[in-house]
Chains A and B, each alone.
Chain A
Amino acid sequence: MEELINKLKEEIIDVLNLEGMKPEDIDENAPLFGEGLGLDSIDALELIVLLEKNYGIKLKNANEGKEIFKSVRVMAEYINEHRTK
């Protein structure tokens, strides 16, 4: 799990162009949206693409993301359970 969390942090920094951020700067238990990283609705959509592209998980609608993107840890747990690649 810890390995997946770190990999996920790197992927998030990369696809969301979080300039100057390192994996250790992201608290895996902190909310991804709202304060924290300053992510917005387009970032949420891009995370949906990340789930599909890297882990073969297809979300039906953007609303499902709300639960999954609560924190990096929640996201990693979801991936662990649902990944197809």
Chain B
Amino acid sequence: MKTKHYIYQKGHHIVTPLAVGSEANFEAIATGHSPLRQYRQQWDIPEPFFAALFPVETFHETSLQQYTRFENIAIQAAEGAIQRAGIDASNPRVLFVISTTKGNVEALENEKAQPANQAYLWHSAQLITSHFGNHNTPIVVSNACISGCAAQITAFNMLQYSDLYDYVVVIGAEVLSRFIIAGFQSFKALSPERCKPFDKNRCGLNLGEAAAAIVYARCEDETQIPDQGIVMTAGAINNDANHISGPSRTGEGLKRSINKVTENFDTKQIAFINAHGTATLYNDDMESIALQRCGLQHIPVNSLKGYYGHTLGAAGVMEVILSSIALQKQMVIKSLGTEEPGTAQPLNVCMENTSAHGNAFLKLISGFGGSNAALLFTLKHASL
């Protein structure tokens, strides 16, 4: 494929314990709201934990009763995004790319009693796409914490380098369970209170449930991008080849990803950086080191984990949507939870909602398995 395409967001939708809808979620966090709270005895887990779980009302829609919690919220997110994009999702030129880390893992509690294949990610994915009458085999991206961004890179590549599809629906969804909470607790990775990204006293992450979807479209001519449209300019993934669970001490993989996406790009145009900012000691230090090595430490940086917690497979998709809206509104959302920044290398952590200056934002994400992704998005102005 020789023609260069512009890959842009045609519609998106977010479903979280805080609000339903991309704009509604943005308004809620812009006014400082967060669904994070403490849970005791949830799923019979002995230790209390701080998280954001969907209220039962989220699952009341009667037409979705045959689906699991995971499939249900994934469908809700996709439905909203598809509606806003105004596309026919059953068209064979539409591909679904689904990001999750654990899907229906709670089916393992009594696997034999569940419908066949319920715990298998490809099976859930097929139920989701069948709901929309789409017969293409969905691609499931399961790349740990970077899944949501990796899925958008897969969508980008499918639209940019192959002529198989006109639209890609990227869904990122995660529900929590005894399995996931117990695992993170055994890792001593959870904060007993609201997490504090980039703070000098940060002591771990919070987990959260969420679903988000973006419909990506392509066009050859820049004028076809709607005014105020968000264009995915570049994406890159690099591995640290260092440790399966510990972030790199040098930020090498993330540095290479950032350098790759900002190559030939005037970084003065970057209004803000939406970092991973999980609030674990090592992740946030690693990001600060990578940004410093790339010479981008002066750009305002935020983390949205203080609002929603780490939403795992949903994080990369949801945080890109919220950052896209922020860019359109020329605003940087404050990093909720950060009291006194303190990372290995100093960062310009956004402590209050402020106005943004620039027509691009950078999204960073890193995770288990040593992978690091960076994505660059730009805003289409009427003047272009």
CB neighbours of B186 from chain A (8 A): 45, 49
- Size of chain A's interface in residues, with CB distance under 8 A? 8
CB neighbours of B244 from chain A (8 A): 42
C-alpha gap A61/B244 in the complex (Å): 21
C-alpha gap A54/B280 in the complex (Å): 29
Query: How far apart are A75's CB and chain B's nearest CB, in angstroms?
Result: 18
Q: Is the CB of A45 within 8 A of B187?
A: yes
Query: How far apart are A18's CB and chain B's nearest CB, in angstroms?
Result: 18
C-alpha gap A45/B245 in the complex (Å): 12
Q: Kindly state whether residue A62 has any CB partner on chain B within 8 Å.
A: yes
Q: Is the CB of A62 within 8 A of B243?
A: no
- Size of chain B's interface in residues, with CB distance under 8 A? 7
Interface of B is mostly: loop
* Chain B residue at minimal CB-CB distance from A61: B188
Q: Kindly state whether residue A67 has any CB partner on chain B within 8 Å.
A: no
Q: Kindly state whether residue B226 has any CB partner on chain A within 8 Å.
A: no
CB neighbours of A45 from chain B (8 A): 186-188
Q: Kindly state whether residue A41 has any CB partner on chain B within 8 Å.
A: yes
Query: How far apart are A44's CB and chain B's nearest CB, in angstroms?
Result: 9
Query: How far apart are A16's CB and chain B's nearest CB, in angstroms?
Result: 15
CB neighbours of A40 from chain B (8 A): 243, 246
List residues of chain B with CB under 8 Å of any chain A CB.
186-188, 243-246
Question: What are 14 pairs between A and B in contact, CB < 8 Å?
Answer: A40-B243, A40-B246, A41-B243, A41-B245, A41-B246, A42-B244, A42-B245, A45-B186, A45-B187, A45-B188, A48-B188, A49-B186, A61-B188, A62-B188
